[in-house]
Structure 1
């Protein structure tokens, strides 16, 4: 059965370039039957296609990439639930739903997506089961697209020409404006609004807690630091688009665990939708609180009114500071939400997950969620781009977003 690309278009998000390897596909369904293993493989394959489309071809930065991964995963799970085996081709439904959402969001990738869809459908036996699967997938995509307002990517964060102590301002070397400022105004996928979670705000810059955080990041997050607690290697390992890294790890884990198509689709939907909501919430908090980054705080500590901090005008972090306010940390919001959701799905702190950084080429195995959380938590301080308070509150946001998202998903 042939399929023409759909024409509904969503405004693409603003982007930062990421390098990611392309996905090689092989037919996942035999010509004679659609087995359970084959259906599950199609779900994993189209998650990989989504990652390729969003992170490589559209080159979205990690925050908006997570939003789009949540949208695609939602449509795929909807398609799976409406395509019972024996009555409709699950493989055709999954492929069509993912194809249509991705093509609508990223029309520039339509050629590759059409070819991917043709590859999947060519392996599905022709007939009414395939036809019904295609129809189910198209309907799932239509429901998802109709439920979402167009992205208003023109929103920007105004910056005071003479920002006061504690107030964010563009940082060197690029001095770029806030990236993805619009993201905090997007309707969440499961939460009621971008402001439905409240964890307070950053520590007051005159507090002892803030002074301790400044001292910590000044010591262990400084470029070429020799402090015993510094670990730039750990920082660099986690300095990756973690949403994409986690999806890659989930595909391998789901395959190794023998998860079926429905369980795999539900896993991707739950984890990608809740982490998308955590990121949306985080970006709204960044926009509303506009807290300065360590590079500014350390260099201009003589302006913060805190006698326990000391200015170091030449201080530089291990990596360039991302172009958006510091509190809370997006990396922490996403990581915490992901790990919380994974432990809810497995019912255990034991996770048995391989995490790979495609830039450094390093793979680490995590046998417990606690170990993964600890390693990722300290990494942002070790890179010199976040305070401990932002990590703690980011982890709180992620846990709450996950718990509330799971509850809403299952209603």
Structure 2
């Protein structure tokens, strides 16, 4: 047999092996891990941390699959090289499960038994043999490489970064006994954007002193003073429900988790196969992770005060249109970090923009919310699009009395810009083979094409 023919048959055999390994698999291989991760994180993990950990989880799952399948370009960033060359014929389903288990066992070892149970259940549904064994080994390798890379991203020290409130007019002051939340999170390494600097925003006028004297500040101030008060007479019952629905307090899955639940519902409704579900979750969580890092960088760089502090000092801000009310209190307790920009609005817009890019915006869905952190659904709201839900999430901070209007608008802009970069630069289809190669392969052309089409 000629060397050319031997080479051709090897290519053709590889094509058949890849084709047989991409039989549609139940999407809950991904969503089961996502749901268990959310349940684990809800007890103590803050929204930006949750976004980082979920991005680590889902990029590992995604890379475990695509480095074997080759349908989408694998994820890489900075010093972390996109993996390639997964063992030929390995089970990508086993690789995905092994990657997920390895990541979560490392990040949340206290829930080891729950992860082991799910892992064993998923592996039990995969036929034994060399393909399964190779997939497990490859998935563990993918996850460990990801964990090693992220171990030096600064997340572990973000909560203990020294921070002291400035203590003057316009600057954030603690409104509860809780210390400043994650003051170093803005320096955590990003997943996709080349640093936070180009994505951060600033107050109108460029400084706190300038903004306080503007008509925009007076508008923001009087809006939240009126509609965000604990005893507001103008806030509607539906707006009150929105405020509580999106508050995402302690014991809940936080804003990050709520958008993962939206993604899960949307993926199921769209009938996505498991690999497309993995891609969607990786993109959504990478966007939220980088949006959260950027929002926190902006918050601690700006250090703007919360409405309750502002309204108690309305006679000291130099703006004649902001009347003081020392007895004013917000409907919902203020988060323990500076006000500008709105973290919830930023995260929500990032997630919604990715979902709309992948699935179209006009997707109807329902979402439940745990208001008091007891693990039960207290409210269910219905939406006609991802953007509607993102807008409502942003506005809820005003209705809750802990966010100014400019902060929500600028936060959404950050989220949209981050999402645009993530979608435009990651998780793309592998290009079709060149025309010359297609002609050379002949029948193999159909096989290579089939592996990428659903």
What's the TM-score once normalised by structure 1's chain length? 0.86
Q: Is the 8 A contact 2:228 2:235 kept in 1?
A: no
State the match for 1:364 in structure 2.
381
CA RMSD after TM alignment: 2.0
Match of 2:162 among 156, 159, 176: 156
Aligned residue for 2:191, secondary structure, equals: coil
CA 1:237–1:36 in structure 2 vs 1: closer, same or farther (change >3 Å)? farther
> Which structure 1 residue ranges, 5 or more long, are not aligned?
1-32
> Which structure 2 residue ranges, 5 or more long, are not aligned?
1-19, 71-87, 206-210, 249-253, 372-376, 429-454
Question: Cα offset for 1:236?
Answer: 0.8
Q: Is the 8 A contact 1:183 1:283 kept in 2?
A: yes
Question: Cα offset for 1:62?
Answer: 1.7
Counterpart mapping for 1:132-171 below 5 A: 132-148=134-150, 149=152, 151-153=156-158, 154-160=160-166, 163-171=167-175
Task: Write the distance in 2 (CA, Å) between the matches of 1:105 and 1:368.
Answer: 33
Task: Write the distance in 2 (CA, Å) between the matches of 1:392 and 1:282.
Answer: 12
Match of 2:241 among 233, 236, 252: 233
Question: Cα offset for 1:117?
Answer: 1.4
Q: Are positions 1:278 and 2:288 aligned together?
A: no
Q: Is the 8 A contact 1:157 1:177 kept in 2?
A: no
Q: Are positions 1:341 and 2:372 aligned together?
A: no
State the match for 1:87 in structure 2.
89
Match of 1:320 among 321, 326, 333: 333
Q: Which structure has the larger Rg?
A: 2
Task: Write the distance in 2 (CA, Å) between the matches of 1:285 and 1:87.
Answer: 47
Task: Write the distance in 2 (CA, Å) between the matches of 1:137 and 1:391.
Answer: 40
State the match for 2:124 in structure 1.
122
Question: Cα offset for 1:109?
Answer: 2.0
Task: Write the distance in 2 (CA, Å) between the matches of 1:268 and 1:236.
Answer: 26
Tell me which moved more, 218-227 or 44-53: 44-53
Q: Is the 8 A contact 1:64 1:180 kept in 2?
A: no
Q: Is the 8 A contact 1:157 1:287 kept in 2?
A: no
Q: Are positions 1:48 and 2:35 aligned together?
A: yes
Q: Is the 8 A contact 2:246 2:393 kept in 1?
A: yes
Task: Write the distance in 2 (CA, Å) between the matches of 1:268 and 1:36.
Answer: 20
Q: Is the 8 A contact 1:333 1:395 kept in 2?
A: yes
Deviations 1:29-63 (A, max 9, x none): xxxx999554422111111122222224xx20222
Question: Cα offset for 1:353?
Answer: 2.3
Question: Cα offset for 1:128?
Answer: 0.8
Task: Write the distance in 1 (CA, Å) between the matches of 2:163 and 2:25.
Answer: 47
Give the number of aligned pairs: 372
Q: Is the 8 A contact 2:263 2:355 kept in 1?
A: no
Task: Write the distance in 2 (CA, Å) between the matches of 1:330 and 1:51.
Answer: 19
